[in-house]
């Protein structure tokens, strides 16, 4: 590549990742709101997303090997193509099918979407490590990619809710599939040739677990970090908000779609914005790896009391109430700020810890742990909300945050 090519390749990878995450966020909100409206229980809603997360675990173990074997461009294209296929399949869902058949079908389609998402994520994050011109640019580049990606995904949450309210389920899914197909065609035409990724020894499947204990400990901290978020994010809070805001009429239901989608979008967009700003927010903490490890440990510790306090407030309320809804919005936005900074530090540290000669394998292992955390959080979100309502859901999030802090604390420099 020429000197200008890495920046051009980074821009192309980022643009394609934006498009993917826009569709990913929209699809999640479409599925959640549509099937909640059909009467699915919190546990059934959680089941719809379980195979999505299981597929992410398996994909991240294999995606690093695939990228090392065939190159990052191939796995990026594959992720986009699989997402289009998942959308087309979901649009074919027959409303006349029974509850069990619908759950199984949507689980399978979501599994394909989970494979697609993690192929795209691993490809994009690994490309940053290989394209960044130096360690000084690495934190800025990965923060910009991760932050902008989450802002776009947040917009996808609102887009999915809006499309559901305006077009209905099947037309919304077909629209998304068509737009993503156009984007894949554009990426095939304009992504610069020679995107790196193939590595020596790629024929060997073994060695998926890193030999660097820092990578393994960070991966464990990441597992619990995302579990702490998804415990309330996937089922608990959206279902609570829908119950709190709905008045039972068709027009009210459409308004609720927009309001719930708007909050979820706002949370993700704000989370992405904070991630992108993390290098500036942490400028005074020092630019060494050790300083950023200490900041990540502190961030994990600060996450513990926020959902615990919200759980206490929700115990005081007798069901949905305006004051509780406002307190939840404020508390979860605060949680999102700390979570975003901590997540951004994790995303930097995995690239700083990972060795260039096996970066796709280390990043794949790390995001396998990320997907495992989302799987655990998704399952616990439905189970805890159904067993103990919002208080148990939020208390479980606090326990997951405490486990993340304990794992991150083992990274502390001597």
Average pLDDT rounded to a whole number, residues 77-104: 84
State pLDDT tens for residues 210-254: 677 888 899 999 999 999 999 998 888 888 888 887 765 555 666
> By CB neighbour count within 10 A (0-12 exposed, 13-18 middle, 19+ buried), where does 165 fall?
middle
270, pLDDT greater than 80: yes
Domain borders along the chain are 5-192+212-409
Reported as type and span, the H/E element at residue 121 is: helix 99-131
Q: What is the pLDDT of residue 192?
A: 62
> By CB neighbour count within 10 A (0-12 exposed, 13-18 middle, 19+ buried), where does 64 fall?
buried
pLDDT band at 128 (very low <50, low <70, confident <90, very high): low
161, pLDDT greater than 90: no
4, pLDDT greater than 50: no
Structure tokens at 305: 């009391």
State pLDDT tens for residues 25-54: 888 888 888 887 777 877 778 777 778 878
Q: Which of 268, 42, 49, 29 is nearest to 164 (CA)?
A: 29
Give dist(CA 210, CA 217) in Å, integer: 10
Average pLDDT rounded to a whole number, residues 143-161: 78
CATH architecture under which domain 5-192+212-409 falls: Up-down Bundle (1.20)
Give dist(CA 334, CA 345) in Å, integer: 17
Q: What is the pLDDT of residue 205?
A: 47
Q: Cα 133 to the chain's mean position, in Å?
A: 27
Question: DSSP string covering 307-329, please?
Answer: HHHHHHHHHHSSSS-HHHHHHHH
pLDDT band at 118 (very low <50, low <70, confident <90, very high): confident
Q: What is the pLDDT of the chain when averaged over all its residues?
A: 80
């Amino acid at each position: 590549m020429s000197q200008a090519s890495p920046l051009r390749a980074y821009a192309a990878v980022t643009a394609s990742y934006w498009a993917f995450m826009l569709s990913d966020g929209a699809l999640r909100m479409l599925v959640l709101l549509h099937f909640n409206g059909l009467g699915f229980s919190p546990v059934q809603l959680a089941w719809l997303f379980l195979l999505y997360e299981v597929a992410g675990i398996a994909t991240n173990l294999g995606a690093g090997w695939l990228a090392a074997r065939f190159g990052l461009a191939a796995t990026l294209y594959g992720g986009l193509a699989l997402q289009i296929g998942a959308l087309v399949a979901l649009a074919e869902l027959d409303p006349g099918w029974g509850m069990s058949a619908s759950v199984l079908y949507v689980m399978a389609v979501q599994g394909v979407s989970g494979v697609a998402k993690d192929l795209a994520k691993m490809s994009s994050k690994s490309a940053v490590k290989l394209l960044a011109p130096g360690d000084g640019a690495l934190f800025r580049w990965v923060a910009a990619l991760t932050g902008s990606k989450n802002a776009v995904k947040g917009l996808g949450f609102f887009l999915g809710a809006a499309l559901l309210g305006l077009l209905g389920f099947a037309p919304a899914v077909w629209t998304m599939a068509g737009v993503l197909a156009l984007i894949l065609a554009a990426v095939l035409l304009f992504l610069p040739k020679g995107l790196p990724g193939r590595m020596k020894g790629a024929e060997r499947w073994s060695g998926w677990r890193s030999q660097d204990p820092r990578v393994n400990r960070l991966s464990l901290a990441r597992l619990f970090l995302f579990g702490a978020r998804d415990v309330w994010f996937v089922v608990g809070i959206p279902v609570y908000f829908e119950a709190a805001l709905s008045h039972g009429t068709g027009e009210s239901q459409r308004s609720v779609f927009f309001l719930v989608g708007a909050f979820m979008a706002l949370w993700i967009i704000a989370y992405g914005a904070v991630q992108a700003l993390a290098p500036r927010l942490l400028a005074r903490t020092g630019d060494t790896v050790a300083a950023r490890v200490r900041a990540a440990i502190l961030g994990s510790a600060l996450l513990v009391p926020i959902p615990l306090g919200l759980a206490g407030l929700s115990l005081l309320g007798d069901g949905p109430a305006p004051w509780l809804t406002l307190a939840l919005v404020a508390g979860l936005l605060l949680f999102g700020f700390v979570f975003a900074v901590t997540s951004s530090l994790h995303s930097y540290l995995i690239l700083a810890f990972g060795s260039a000669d096996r970066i796709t394998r280390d990043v794949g292992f790390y995001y396998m742990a990320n997907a495992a955390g989302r799987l655990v959080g998704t399952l616990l979100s439905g189970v805890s909300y159904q067993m103990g309502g919002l208080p148990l859901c939020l208390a479980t999030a606090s326990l997951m945050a405490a486990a993340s802090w304990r794992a991150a604390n083992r990274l502390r420099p001597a």
